[in-house]
Amino acid sequence: MKIDLIVGARPNYMKAAPVYRALKKYPAKFHVRLVHTGQHYDEKMSHIFFRELELPQPDVYLGVGSGRHGEQTGKIMIEYEKAVLSDKPNVVLVAGDVNSTMACSLVAAKLHIKVGHIEGGLRSGDWSMPEEINRIVTDRIADYLFTTSKDADENLLAEGVPPDKIFLVGNTMIDSLNYYLPKAQQLNLDGKYPFNSSTLSRPIEKNGFILVTLHRPSNVDDGQTLQALIKVLCQIQERIPVIFPMHPRTRKMLSEFGLNGMLESARNLIITEPLGYLEFLKLEANAFLVLTDSGGIQEETTVLGIPCLTLRENTERPITIWEGTNELVGSNPQKVLERTYAILNGERKTGKVPQYWDGHAAERIVEVLLSKL
């Protein structure tokens, strides 16, 4: 069976790496072609992840780069169709909800190639999110829907997806976390994080800081919202150091809105460039609390047992709230501040690891594919 495994943006790499390893255990059964669309293409957003996740150089690199959603999706489809026509796979495996996920699925479906969606069935109910559209379109045309939790199964069944297309396998993101966490914990990050001309002189101590990620348009593309959230971070850093690996989009918008001056006196707010996977995982595992608008971080903190405040009005991963350590707080600065201070004062939410988030999801995916041979 010839399989194209698609990666394009940071979250894809952690989801795809364990699947690639599991497939390579059966060289007589699977011929795997690793296809990188180039949706994320700079060093910190892409190539370093290949090294850290022990992935080989892609067999196919489409090099589409950035652009508006329609432009980027169209470029991926044009270039991936060429790659498929030159060497047609039996199955195309896509992960997550980025433009690469939907674009490659559409190409495969139009050429009558089976599509497998890793992380199928997730729904936020928010159609203003491009990711929600990507998820729904991909699930509608996929032949194999590999789900992370029972609520994802229920979403798909409610939408009319036949039960024989749905496979509850667990979470390949957690496969990567379990596999790489020991290596990440061995990293020495002391004094590594620059803020202006200074560095974080104190050691990275367990529970000694709050970790922040912020990149979604709803939070960073509106000047008032971004200003309010930065003000909250400046208040929080007065009580505990805050480490903030800053997404290029966020850095750009801070500059456009003239908000960089707010950071100058916040000496415990440590701004860094985007981090590699292992560096970020080390920080995440040792944080007292994580503030984020990311999707996968909600899952990782649940497994790590780290409190997580999600700065969004909804989530496609509600199991991290029902069973995990995650709480939705939106972007209301007062609510973010109140819950942060409550957790600092000991009101920590406890949770449990969801079913099948055990490090073996990729193996279950391969078992399904083997059964289809």
Q: Which residue has the tokens 């649940």?
A: 302
The three-class DSSP label of residue 341 is: helix
> Are 180 and 364 in contact, with CB atoms under 8 Å apart?
no
Q: What would the two tokens of residue 105 be?
A: 């699925």
Task: Write the DSSP symbol of residue 64.
Answer: -
- 227 neighbors 257 (Cβ within 8 angstroms): yes
Maximum pairwise Cα distance, the chain: 61
Residue 46: DSSP 8-state: I
| Nearest alpha-carbon partner for 4 in 58, 41, 48 | 58
Owner of token pair 């939070």: 219
Q: Which residues are catalytic?
A: 215
CA 101, distance to chain mean position in Å, is: 13
Of 288, 299, 296, the closest CA to residue 321 belongs to 299
The answer to whether the CB of 307 falls within 8 A of the CB of 275 is: no
Say how far apart CA 180 and CA 206 lie, in whole Å.
18
Taking CA atoms, 242 is separated from 91, 204, 321, in Å, by 44, 11, 23
The secondary element (H helix, E strand) that includes residue 91 is strand 91-95
Cβ atoms within 10 Å, residue 99: 26
Sign, CA torsion 158/162/165/167: positive
Residues 6+ apart with CB under 8 A from 291: 210, 211, 212, 213, 214, 233, 308, 309, 311, 336, 340
> What distance in Å separates the CA atoms of residue 279 and residue 186, rounded to the nearest whole number?
10
